[in-house]
Amino acid sequence: MKQINQSYKRRRTLAPILLHWEIANAFSAMFKRKRISLEQAKEAIEYYSWIKIRFVEIDLNKALDIAFNFNVYAYDAYFIVSAKQYNSKFISLDKGLIGS
């Protein structure tokens, strides 16, 4: 995680505010599967807090268009729209989403 953080300190990172909830939801899913402890999640949140992120507003109509046209969840569409809207690179660990 420290390597990821060092890499992104040099870049401008932006995301919809939804990112906070998406990260917390990912950890809660890992709790249910017994893949991570509460202490590990809190440590990861500490690293996450070091990343300088500019939170942006997105066009909900564009997000709905993308969700409909590419058959993705609106949550995923928000991230796609933010990248398109601000002419930024899109990064995700979701390989299926990147293919959309």
Per-residue model confidence as pLDDT tens digits over 17-52: 999 999 999 999 999 999 999 999 999 999 999 989
Where in the sequence is the domain holding 22, given as residue range(s)? Answer: 1-56
The answer to whether residues 50 and 62 belong to one domain is: no
SS3 for 27? helix
Residue predicted with more confidence, 97 or 9: 97
The answer to whether residues 69 and 88 belong to one domain is: yes
Average pLDDT over the chain, rounded to whole? 86
Query: What percentage of the chain reaches a pLDDT higher than 90?
Result: 63
Q: Residue 67: its pLDDT value, please?
A: 96
The answer to whether residues 52 and 78 belong to one domain is: no
Please say if the pLDDT value at position 85 is more than 60: yes
Q: Residue 3: its pLDDT value, please?
A: 57
